[in-house]
Amino acid sequence: MKLNERGLLIVLSGPSGVGKGTVRKALFDLEGHDLVYSTSMTTRPRREGEVEGVDYYFVSREEFEQRIRDDAFLEWAEFVGHYYGTPRDKVDEQLKQGKEVVLEIEVQGALQVREKAKDGVFIFIAPPNREALYRRLLRRGTESGDTIQKRMDKAEREFPLAHKYDYIVVNDEVTNAADRVLAIIRAEHARTERAIHKYKELLGVDENE
């Protein structure tokens, strides 16, 4: 039984190539949870086979910019001429339903979310060491040596930002990392500040005691 009935916003973040997506997929393969993946909103055209509300929420540039003015995103960015963002109302709706909403995002985006979602759970996915991160980037086989070096340079700037997160999970082995993330989610639901009101209600304890 969860004393905290509201879902949690789980932000998985870390340098490019650290394996955020792989850990997130392994996490969703585990049993005993009610996880949903946060769907982003974008202004780019829908591609063949993409489903509205599953792959993205597709909107016009005008609607997206109005949402920016209304401060309706937890985070947003513009990339190659199109906007991408995390709609706050969609996330809140799922949290109220008791679902754990998982947001997989780069470091700068995560720090934007931290400013707007104070009760979120922020997890920094870290590599075992620099060499492991470099090897992972190299194994992709999709980028030039110069691009890989730029990503490593960016990672060096992001490593010190881990102190801004609630937890650090080392992705030494994907299944182990996913297990640790799930353990964090379960522990967060038992955190006193999240559970105390329901606990007092169940036991008939005066709120002022």
Considering the entire predicted model, what is its pTM?
0.85
Identify the pLDDT of residue 190: 85
Mean pLDDT of 192-203: 80
Higher pLDDT among residues 123 and 105, named by residue: 123
Using pLDDT thresholds of 50, 70 and 90, give the confidence band for residue 1. Answer: low
Which domains are seen in the chain, by residue range? Answer: 9-38+99-203 (3.40.50.300)
Instruction: List, as own/partner pairs, every contact residues 85-94 make where C-beta atoms lie below 8 angstroms and the sequence separation is at least 24, other chains included.
Output: 85/40, 85/41, 85/42, 86/38, 86/40, 86/41, 86/113, 87/40, 87/41, 87/57, 88/116, 90/38, 90/39, 90/41, 90/57, 91/9, 91/38, 94/7, 94/36
Q: Is the pLDDT confidence value at 163 over 80?
A: yes
Fill in the amino acid letter for 203.
L
Chain centroid to CA 108: 12
Quote the percentage of the chain above a pLDDT of 90: 55
- Beta partners for 102? 10, 37
Q: Which pairing describes strands 35-37 and 100-105: parallel, antiparallel, or unpaired?
A: parallel
SS3 of residue 76 by DSSP: strand
Q: Given this model, what pLDDT does residue 201 score? A: 78
State the average pLDDT for the chain.
Answer: 89
Q: What is the pLDDT of residue 91?
A: 93
Give residue 207's pLDDT. 66
**Percent of the chain, pLDDT > 70?**
96
Confidence tier at 106 by pLDDT (50, 70, 90): confident
Residue 149 structure tokens: 């070096």
pLDDT band at 13 (very low <50, low <70, confident <90, very high): very high
**C-alpha distances in Å from residue 85, one per residue of 56, 76, 109:** 10, 4, 9
What tokens appear for 47 in the block?
């591609």
pLDDT at residue 119 greater than cutoff 70: yes
pLDDT exceeds 70 at position 209: no
Q: Report pLDDT digits (tens) over 137-155.
A: 888 766 778 888 888 998 9
Chain segment 37-78, per-residue pLDDT in tens? 998 999 988 888 888 988 889 999 999 999 999 999 999 988
Distance CA 25, CA 103 (A): 12
Phi–psi pair at 126, nearest 5 degrees: -115, 150
Number of Cβ within a 10 Å radius of residue 154: 15
What phi and psi values does residue 66 have, to the nearest 5 degrees?
-65, -40
**pLDDT band at residue 5 using 50, 70 and 90 as cut-offs:** confident
